[in-house]
Amino acid sequence: MKKKDRSKYSLADHIFAKTVVSFMCLAIISFPFLVFYFVMHLISWTNDVHIHASGTLSSIKIVLKFFVTTLFITVIMDMIFSAVLNRAKGILGYISEALLMLAFFYLYVFFYSLLSNEIVMTEKGRLYVSLFLFFGYLCIHAVYVGAKRLSKFIVKN
């Protein structure tokens, strides 16, 4: 009995595969930041939010710092709120967690704008940014629930 030979891959095949995977990873990582940057840029067109940047690269750096800080603190607070509200199951738990996160986003944006000289916001600007962060938070949870149901459906069938 003859064993089937695995077809040999050339160096060009390996380079192509690694390039495609690298671009996919880059797209997965950069897409949320690009959405965040463009919405922050749109919000900064109002008179309520001003990003003190000398150019586009400086603006990207400022928003990237805000994005990373927001992401890090939001993950920590979401884990804390989920652990504290673990007892409240059902819709009441979700609503209370969402209201706590909305209050957290407003307080976070308030303190960030007070401590940072790079992003200056008025009262309306803080509300705009905190509502944007809250909307993003809700979208992430909606995608998670949808992906979870889709994976259950695929495994079931």
6 occurs within a structural domain: no
Positive/negative CA dihedral, 143, 144, 148, 154: positive
Number of separate domains in the chain = 1
pLDDT at site 80: 85
103 occurs within a structural domain: yes
Range of the domain at 79: 11-156
2 occurs within a structural domain: no
Spatial separation of the C-alpha atoms in residues 127 and 133, rounded to whole Å? 10
66 occurs within a structural domain: yes
3 occurs within a structural domain: no
pLDDT in tens, 32-48: 899 999 999 898 898 88
Task: Map residue 18 onto helix, strand or coil.
Answer: helix
CA angle centred on 107, ends 105 and 111, rounded to 5°: 115
**Does position 87 have pLDDT exceeding 70, yes or no?**
no
pLDDT class for 4, splitting at 50, 70, 90? low
1 occurs within a structural domain: no
Q: How many CB atoms lie within 10 A of CB 64?
A: 13
Tell me, yes or no, if the pTM score tops 0.95.
no
